[in-house]
Structure 1
């Protein structure tokens, strides 16, 4: 094991607790940023200071500066850690200025990292599986980096999805390959190491006598259980990804980018209900689902985690989708149908 000491385990648990507190603090700061700091179209009218002039962190690094629908829908780890880290590393190594390092090249490279991670995760050794978890988080960081480089070269500020571009589709395909590799690695590990409680520990070699006494049947049943649980979580990832990308596209269309918001768009953006919607999707979006399963692998609780979320995960996702769809309809009505009748939101 990588962490044989109970003291190390306590340290890791403490770090996780502190990380959660950091995310909560940053969410509160983001909410107050949206509520109390003027956005770009108010600056010219009120001659007020830009956010970067009242913040001790540069807007290039601060995740609170450029408020976009996608930024609000991003998971905490990507928004508060990986995205600023990508900016800092780009500043140090000038990656955006190196012509042969293209966003697509970074996307292709993180596929290789994901496959290597999946190979480690399929191992019988907990140490190798933990290395695989770290490698997949590196892949997630590289996924942030390719988007950062693409936006930096086009002088785009803030988190924005360039829907319909070749880079958008290439990045999506590379992400899908990496996720499939991760799930295959998890399946191979569980197939080779079926849970002991409630199941028969299976032999490596099956002879004719084993087939006669029913061992082959037990293998078939246990493998089916593994396939079912891994497939259910894979389906949840697919459902989450589809819905999350849909809401990014819809909110970008309705609310625009991070500049020149209309008065009505600002009302929607500052609505507490809207913040509840985006916070829910910060928790249940595809990136967070991957973080959850990686944490389960790291803690050697993969089977328990998959068994817990096998059906309840679908319920949570469907509830989040229903709430978001209702909100989308309300926002459309508010922004377009009631544009001239003085409706309130």
Structure 2
């Protein structure tokens, strides 16, 4: 152990509480920023199809850059985009600003031109492979080091996108769908996730969890009784001794593989749906300049869109990885996988259903000129 279990539990609980409160506050500030300040990408001053009062109201909104005390180079609230509203909280509010700070401090985008975004993507696959090897270790300390490496991998995943946008002078999070960088980034992310799941699978295979419990602490039993229990734990039925010991068989590898496959299936579906809706929302609200700018901006500012995107901030594949990483770090891997391997699909159904409904709402309002306020 790197520190006493009780102390580690208190520290982790406190840090988790701080992060949750921080993310809730940042979500609130993001919503207020969208509602009360100008948003780049909606050229309402040249659009004359809407009421003059609406145009004048949009013109009079102040620039967020003029009032914020945090420089926009590191401020995740400065340039709200469709993708920014759908990126998970950790990447958007923690790793994103850290990437900007590292880039400003080291000058990667401007001075280290020989380091390409794709090179960063390939490097974080190597980090993931090392982390996957450590995940197979029975020692919890090594597995915690592995989780630190996987968090570094996620940071590097953010960094490659940040460097690419800086060199193309793109403000805010955006997906360049179909480009070489888009596919390289996606494939490297996939390889990193596969490495993590293989590491967890091998660990659970070599250290299968128990289906049961012991009423008496093992430390109080004589050695010969512990040896007898360990030699009979793989039987198929419950067994009780005169000392009040109750236990069951180890979880079979078939069951382990089934749970991991179901969890992995959630991640695949989450990734496909998340990328699909980013692409659709970008086309409807940001990329199609021939559509009415006022109506696109109105939909982007709407509470309905903020709520819909908030669901994907929780249900996107990066959030799955952060939750799994926390479970491994706390030595609750099997408990977490068993808890969500079915129930997680319900959350995906809600997210997809809400998004499909809202897409129809956007199209009706933006394309067919049906009032969707």
TM-score, normalised to structure 2, is 0.83
Does residue 241 of structure 1 match 2:271?
yes
Q: Distance in 2 between matches of 1:47 and 1:17?
A: 39
Q: CA deviation at 1:165?
A: 0.3
RMSD (Å), alpha carbons: 2.4
Any conservation in 2 of the 1:103–1:149 contact (CA below 8 Å)? yes
Q: Distance in 2 between matches of 1:237 and 1:254?
A: 26
Cα distance, 1:47–1:327 mapped onto 2, change above 3 Å: closer
Q: CA deviation at 1:152?
A: 0.6
Q: CA deviation at 1:121?
A: 1.1
**What are the ranges of 5 or more consecutive residues in structure 2 without an aligned counterpart?**
47-55, 214-230, 237-247
Any conservation in 1 of the 2:100–2:162 contact (CA below 8 Å)? yes
Name 1:205's counterpart in structure 2: none
Cα distance, 1:195–1:142 mapped onto 2, change above 3 Å: same
The aligned runs of 1:1-345 (5 Å cut-off) are 1-40=1-40, 41=43, 46=59, 49-97=62-110, 98-198=112-212, 222-256=252-286, 262-338=293-369, 343-345=371-373
* Paired residues, number: 329
Q: Distance in 2 between matches of 1:197 and 1:219?
A: 6
Q: CA deviation at 1:219?
A: 9.4
Q: Deviations over 1:182-217 (max 9, x none)?
A: 000010111111112339xxxxxxxxxx9xx979xx
Q: Deviations over 1:151-178 (max 9, x none)?
A: 1110001000110100100110000000
Q: Compare CA radii of gyration and give the structure with the larger one.
A: 2
Q: CA deviation at 1:47?
A: 5.9
Cα distance, 1:89–1:7 mapped onto 2, change above 3 Å: same
**What are the ranges of 5 or more consecutive residues in structure 1 without an aligned counterpart?**
200-209
Name 1:204's counterpart in structure 2: none
Q: Which one has more relative contact order, counting CA pairs under 8 Å at least 6 apart?
A: 1
SS in 1 for 2:367: helix
